């Protein structure tokens, strides 16, 4: 098996993919952007739900990281609307409040994965690979 070719193919796929992050914490946004950019993804972030929804009306990402608790609204409440616009969009919800109820609500509403804060950036590649493989 040619593992070098497989790695190059995965990097090319990543370079073609665009990720949008909607989170109100600048440090989380920068951490995600840095980690995902190093993996070859094109990344944009916004700090509010209103701005994020406006962006989503103009442009469709391949993957969306969506914070559940935002100052201007609930990511959980917005998730069904987003999934109505883009039924096949991969949404990874993120939250500092890792109770089982929020996770279940997010997954029921259409999230592909629930990522609790703080998270291990080293696992992002694996998480993205797993959610893409399930599609």
% of the chain residues with pLDDT over 70:
89
Among 5-19, 20-34, 41-55, 97-111, whose mean pLDDT is lowest? 5-19
* Tokens found for residue 87: 């039924």
- pTM higher than 0.95, yes or no? no
pLDDT mean across residues, the chain: 89
3-state secondary structure the chain: CCHHHHHHHHHHHHHCCEEEEECCCHHHHHHHHHHHHHCCCEEEEECCHHHHHHHHHHCCCCEEEEECEECCEEHHHHHHHHHHHCCCCEEEEEECCCCHHHHHHHHHCCCCEEEECCCCHHHHHHHHHHHHHCC
pLDDT digits (tens, 9 = 90+) for 58-76: 999 999 999 999 999 999 9
Beta-bridged to residue 92, according to DSSP, are 65, 113
**Spans of all domains in the chain:** 14-133
Q: Average pLDDT for residues 41-66, to the nearest whole number?
A: 97
Give CA–CA dist 5/68, Å, rounded: 38
Residue 124 CA from chain centroid, whole number = 10
**Does the structure show a pLDDT above 60 at 27?**
yes
CA gap 105, 85 in Å, rounded: 19
CATH fold for the domain made of 14-133: Rossmann fold (3.40.50)
């Amino acid at each position: 098996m040619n593992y070098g070719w497989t790695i190059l193919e995965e990097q090319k796929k990543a370079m073609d993919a665009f990720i949008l992050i909607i989170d109100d914490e600048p440090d989380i946004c920068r951490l995600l952007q840095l980690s995902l950019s190093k993996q070859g993804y094109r990344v944009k972030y916004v700090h509010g739900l209103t701005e994020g929804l406006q962006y989503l009306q103009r442009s469709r990402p391949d993957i969306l990281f969506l914070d559940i608790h935002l100052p201007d609204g609930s990511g959980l409440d917005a998730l069904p609307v987003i999934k109505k616009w883009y039924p096949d969009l991969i949404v990874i919800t993120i939250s500092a409040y890792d109770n089982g109820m929020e996770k279940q609500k997010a997954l029921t509403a259409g999230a592909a994965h629930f990522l609790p804060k703080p998270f291990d950036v080293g696992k992002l590649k694996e998480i993205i690979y797993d959610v893409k493989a399930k599609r």
